[in-house]
Structure 1
Amino acid sequence: MNKKPVVYILASANKRVLYVGVTSQLVTRIWQHRNNLVGGFSHKYQVHNLVHYERFDSMTTAIKREKQLKKWRRTWKEQLIKENNPQWLDLYDSLL
C-alpha cells in the first residue's frame, strides 16, 4: 500500500473542517500532516485525523477522484465518511 495512489480525507478534531488530498505514500503524507510539516490549509486549521481513504491503480484516476470530491458538498463528504467510518475514528494507526 505504501506506493499506491490514494485519495484521503482529513478532519479536524472537532470535525468542523475537512481536507481532501491525494498521495502515493499515504502513511508518510499523513505523518507529515500530523507533525505540521505540510504548510497551508491543513496546518492552519489543524486538520490531522485521517477519516477516509480510497486506493487507486493509477495516479491519474486518483487525481480525478480528488477533484471530484473537492467539488462535493460537505454533506456528501460526510455521508461518504459515515458509510465506512461511522464514528469518524482516526484511521492512521490502522495503516501502521
Structure 2
Amino acid sequence: MQFCYLYIFTNVARTYLYIGATDDLTQKLEEHKLIACSSFSKEIHATHLIYFETFSKLSLAESRVAEIKKWKESQKWRLIMRANPCLSELLWLDSETTAA
C-alpha cells in the first residue's frame, strides 16, 4: 500500500510554516532542498520537515491540509509541538536522496 502525506516544513529559524500534501515525502523534501522554485521559496528556505500525517488517499491528505491552513498560527504550532516538541527534523536525505 502506498501512503500519502500531509507535511509541514519550516525554515531554520522555525518562523515560517509551509503546509502541503504529497504521495512522496522524500521527493517533496528534495524539491524544497533544491529550492528550484520561485523567488518566494528561495527567501523562505522551508526545508525542514517537522510534522507529517499519513493517509491512504491523496484527496484525504489534501482535505486535511485545507483544514489546517484555516487554523490560527498558534493552533498549527500546538499540533506540531504535541507530536514533535523538540522541533527535530523528521526526514533527511543522504547523497543518493533516500530517506534515512
Coarse TM-score class (shorter-chain normalised): 0.7 to 0.9
Q: Which runs of 5+ in 1 are unaligned?
A: none
Deviation at 1:43, TM superposition (A): 3.1
1:18-65 per-position Cα deviation (integer Å, ceiling 9, x unaligned): 110111011111111012133364333111110000010111111100
TM (norm. structure 1) is 0.88
Q: 1:43 to 1:51 in 2, by over 3 A?
A: same
What TM-score results when the alignment is normalised by the length of structure 2? 0.84
Q: Which runs of 4+ in 1 moved over 6 A?
A: none
Q: 2:36 maps to what in 1?
A: 37
Question: Are the structure 2 counterparts of residues 34 and 7 from structure 1 closer, same or farther at C-alpha, using a change threshold of 3 Å?
Answer: same
Paired AA for residue 55 in structure 1: T
Structure 2: distance between partners of 1:73 and 1:26: 25
Q: Which residue of 2 aligns with 1:82?
A: 81
Query: Equivalent pairs: percent with the same residue?
Result: 26
**Unmatched segments (≥5 aa) in structure 2:** 94-98
Question: Which secondary structure does the structure 2 equivalent of 1:83 belong to?
Answer: helix
2:46 equivalent in structure 1 = 47
